[in-house]
Amino acid sequence: MENYKKMVANLQEVDDIIKAVQVLQWDRETNMPRAGSIERTHQVSTLRKIAHEKGTSAEFTDTLGAAAQDVADLDADSDEVRLVALIQRLHGRQSKLTTEIVQRLAQAEGAATSAWIKARADNDFESFRPYLETNVELARETAELYGYENELYDALLRGYEYGISAAEVRTIFDAVKAEIVPLLQAIIEKGRPIDDSVLYQPFAVEKQEQFAREMATAVGYDFSRGHLGEVVHPFMTNFSQNDVRITTRWYPEFLSSGLFSVLHEAGHALYEQGTHPNFSRTPLASGTSLGIHESQSRSIENLVGRSRPFWERHYPQLQATFPDQLGSTSVDDFYRAINKVQPSFIRVEADELTYNFHIILRFELEQALLSGDLAVKNLPAAWAEKMQSLVGVTPDTDSNGCLQDVHWTRPSAFGYFPTYALGGYYGAQFMEAMTEQDPTIADQLSTGDPSGMVNWLRENIHTPGSKFPPGELVIRATGRPLSHEPFVRYAKKKFGAIYEL
């Protein structure tokens, strides 16, 4: 097993470099003076170049081949065999990129991130447009280098959700639209508006943060191995199992945004804190796909955090935190307010139903940008038109439209967006499976206690890390492939009750 050990040692060195990059990126998003952008871009670019060279060198390629021979006689599900298989897949993908393009990707991301932060604040798409044009070209170039059989988009999607194609995603999205559009129409036709004005009041940020920390702890996030920061666009990052950080953004006169972003990112963090310790400093110590990752965040945010039992348990504490704002509002009215179905501009603040259309919009626009059917200069108008047709609203500004998401500052992030919706479907399927397998989980959830749910996720989803590809993992956990149907059943039951359909 000497070659296997040598391979692992190399992987650990590369992982250390990548984690150092992530520390620099965390700092860029949370603390770094804007004036430091150019130097930080060079620092990230240099480290990514070193990591790429170490991970794709001829020496490592030979070591990987020899390591595969070392583990050839081991059980097919052993950690060693699975790690080698994962590295062979990742190595095959990364080896198709030149060092030069890896550096260009890092440099483009650094420049675009700073430009986007300013453009979003100033509602100035034109200032961001040249950076996005560069990123679209780089995304096309990397897709061509990766290679694909049917669609260019497949090459990029594969990096985030291995084993699924753009055509399969379209099929799933079409099936969801066929079920959710009539549900939305029924809600609208019911004509039973929900008053959510209680959420739009002065809420002291320091009290919001204190309560959000307590809720993150309540769902299992370990602050002794974590940290909560403030950013323009919420995200989670991890440097090890013992350093998994989350972020949010606070609004002093809107309660939901900061709170539910914390719960969302805490769901991501639970996944990273829960991978097996033996996988430390290797690619196994991370979520197996962005769709599976998103299933964890959306489950904690929505299946738990927007459930009635959760608030029956925790609403008295929230009322005590904000007695003037919530003291006369019942838990039933609060529950209905946080689950109000209403078309809105901002994806991260969208309700569970219309959220799907925010993702479909981005999925379709990405494909049009990459294919050349849509020029970057025409993106604001195309966004507004598609937002109106899919979501039912037209953005009042580009900051509330095509500038709202951070993802397109990264050319490597094209192909990412579909995983957000897929995560909702994975999450609902996991919920159905766990309550079928262990009815006591449903009993606990009915009291607002997610511990049994988190334990099931820890065993079936978190601990394996990236040991199993997403398609295999969902079958192992639930006994069947991914389906949109559990989500549709969940949505119809929940919102049918809220709106008395």
Q: 445-462, pLDDT tens digit by residue?
A: 999 999 999 999 999 999
Task: Determine the CATH number of domain 2-151.
Answer: 1.20.58
Given a cut of 90, whether residue 358 has pLDDT beyond it is yes
Note if 349 is an active site residue: no
Q: What architecture does CATH give domain 166-498? A: Orthogonal Bundle (1.10)
- Residue of 253, 170, 155, 172 whose CA lies nearest to 205: 253
CA distance 156 to 419: 12
- Which of 29, 161, 265, 366 is labelled catalytic? 265
CA 474 vs CA 239, 301, 420, 481: distances in Å: 26, 20, 16, 6
- Strand 226-230's sheet: what is its strand order? 226-230, 243-248, 236-240
Q: 398-440, pLDDT tens digit by residue?
A: 999 999 999 999 999 999 999 999 999 999 999 999 999 999 9
Domain with CATH 1.20.58 in the chain: 2-151
Q: Which CB contacts under 8 angstroms, 24+ apart, belong to 328-337?
A: 329/198, 332/308, 333/195, 333/198, 334/198, 335/306, 335/308, 335/311, 336/194, 336/196, 336/498, 337/194, 337/195, 337/196, 337/198, 337/199
Given a cut of 90, whether residue 208 has pLDDT beyond it is yes
CA 419 vs CA 169, 223, 265, 362, 480: distances in Å: 9, 27, 15, 11, 19
CA distance 142 to 115: 22
- Residue of 424, 490, 408, 412 whose CA lies nearest to 172: 424
- How would residue 382 be classed by pLDDT, with cut points 50, 70 and 90? very high
CA distance 473 to 468: 6
Residues 6+ apart with CB under 8 A from 488: 176, 179, 180
CA distance 274 to 126: 43
Q: Tell me if 301 sits within 8 A of 264, measured CB to CB.
A: yes
Q: 279-303, pLDDT tens digit by residue?
A: 999 999 999 999 999 999 999 999 9
Q: 47-92, pLDDT tens digit by residue?
A: 999 999 999 999 999 999 999 999 999 999 999 999 999 999 999 9
DSSP state of 448: T
pLDDT of residue 341: 95
Give the dihedral of Cα atoms 231, 400, 303, 464; nearest 10 deg: -50
CA distance 416 to 320: 40
